[in-house]
């Protein structure tokens, strides 16, 4: 009898042990945003994290690990344990452009597992109010007339705002002097204060300052206007046809993270993206939800690799030097 009872409790503890070993999460999850607080990456992630914790049943800590165009924050994720408790936010800049600019010490595709595609938005060309231009052609003329290159705020070499600046230079036949920040949140503060001349910024970051009239917008880098900023013309309408750029974003985890944990993180993000209140908050910033058929981890992986194939030749041709 005693042997049977003992065997039962041994089996029970093994089951419970396994059950506890398989339960995820059992403590707070950290989502690393590789840019400073108050910027567009940070804003989007905090909105999503607030809803993701409901599905996951654990606190989500958003940590801003900044520097080097976001590559320091991505490296923090790459070198974290593959247990699902460290998740990385990133976008076209950090998970594509950085690979063409920096000697990263990690591989953007092979050292990370894709989790889910997140919202995207076009870029918007904005200037300080002191610039005497009321249209994109007038802005281009002003930029070309400056004795020294105008200053353009970015979130560092390889950031989305930097890649967009390079594309603006090429499309407009202009030269800019880049001023790097740890994110476009602080860059925008300096634009409002008149300390720098322009930013090619994520619309979601500049939209409220444009609405308030503290900066001036010239065009969005898309073929159609954004409903929430319908008074801003497209680059096609404003005189730079074909200068289109969409900054997409996503979540990744370290390579080797168990598939069932990736699935749980993906499901929590999809729940957040499908939540009407979350969608309203994000869409009010001019953000566009990812297509419903592109929400699998595999879809993000395929998209990232296609974007690498598209952008690396362009960025390498720009011969960007990072000190």
- Which residues are at the interface with ligand MLT (CB under 6 A)? 35, 39-41, 93, 155, 159-161, 183-185, 202, 205
- For residues 257 and 65, what is the distance between their CA atoms, to the nearest angstrom? 21
CB of 23 to ligand MLT, least distance (A): 33
Closer to ligand MLT at the Cβ: 202 or 257?
Answer: 202
Query: Which among 99, 139, 94 has a CA at the least distance from the CA of 250?
Result: 94
**Identity of the residue, 75 or 239, whose beta carbon is nearer to ligand MLT in the bound complex:** 75
Q: Return the residue nearest ligand MLT (CB atom).
A: 39
For the CB of residue 245, give the shortest distance to ligand MLT in the complex, in Å.
Answer: 11
DSSP letters of 62-80?
A: EEE---GGGHHHHHHHHTS
Q: How far is the CB of 131 from ligand MLT (least distance, A)?
A: 20
Q: Which is nearer to ligand MLT, 25 or 73 (CB)?
A: 73
Which residue lies nearer to ligand MLT by CB, 35 or 85? 35
| Residues 126, 215 contacting (CB under 8 angstroms) | yes
Nearer to ligand MLT, 71 or 257 (CB): 71
Q: What is the DSSP string of 140-178?
A: HHHHHH-SSPEEEEESSTTSHHHHHHHHHHHHHT--EEE
How far apart are CB 80 and ligand MLT at their closest, in Å? 20
Q: How far is the CB of 278 from ligand MLT (least distance, A)?
A: 18
């Amino acid at each position: 009898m005693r042997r049977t009872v003992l065997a039962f409790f041994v089996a029970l503890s093994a089951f419970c042990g396994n059950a506890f070993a398989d339960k995820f999460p059992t403590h707070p999850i950290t989502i690393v945003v590789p840019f400073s607080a108050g910027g567009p990456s940070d804003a989007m992630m905090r909105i999503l994290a607030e809803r993701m914790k409901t599905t996951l049943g654990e606190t989500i800590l958003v940590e801003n690990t900044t520097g080097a165009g976001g590559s320091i924050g991505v490296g923090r994720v790459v070198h974290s344990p593959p247990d699902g408790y460290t998740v990385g936010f990133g976008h076209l800049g950090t998970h594509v452009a950085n690979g063409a600019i920096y000697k990263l010490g990690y591989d953007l595709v092979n050292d990370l597992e894709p989790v889910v595609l997140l919202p995207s938005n076009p870029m918007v060309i904005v200037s300080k109010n002191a610039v005497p231009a009321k249209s994109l052609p007038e802005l281009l003329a002003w930029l070309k007339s400056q004795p020294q290159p105008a200053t353009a705020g970015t979130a560092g070499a390889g950031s989305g705002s930097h890649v967009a600046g390079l594309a603006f230079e090429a499309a407009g036949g202009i030269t800019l002097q880049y001023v790097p920040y740890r994110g476009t949140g602080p860059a925008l503060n300096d634009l409002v204060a008149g300390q720098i001349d322009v930013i090619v910024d994520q619309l979601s970051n500049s939209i409220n300052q444009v609405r308030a009239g503290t900066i001036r917008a010239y065009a969005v880098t898309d073929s159609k206007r954004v409903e929430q900023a319908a008074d801003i013309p497209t680059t096609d309408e404003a005189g730079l046809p074909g200068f289109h750029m969409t900054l997409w974003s996503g979540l990744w985890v370290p390579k080797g993270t168990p598939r069932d944990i990736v699935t749980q993180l993906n499901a929590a993000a999809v729940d957040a993206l499908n939540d009407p209140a979350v969608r309203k908050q994000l869409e009010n910033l001019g953000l566009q939800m990812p297509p419903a058929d592109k929400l699998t981890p595999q879809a993000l992986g395929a998209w990232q690799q296609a974007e690498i194939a598209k952008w690396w030749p362009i960025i390498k041709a720009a011969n960007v030097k990072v000190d």
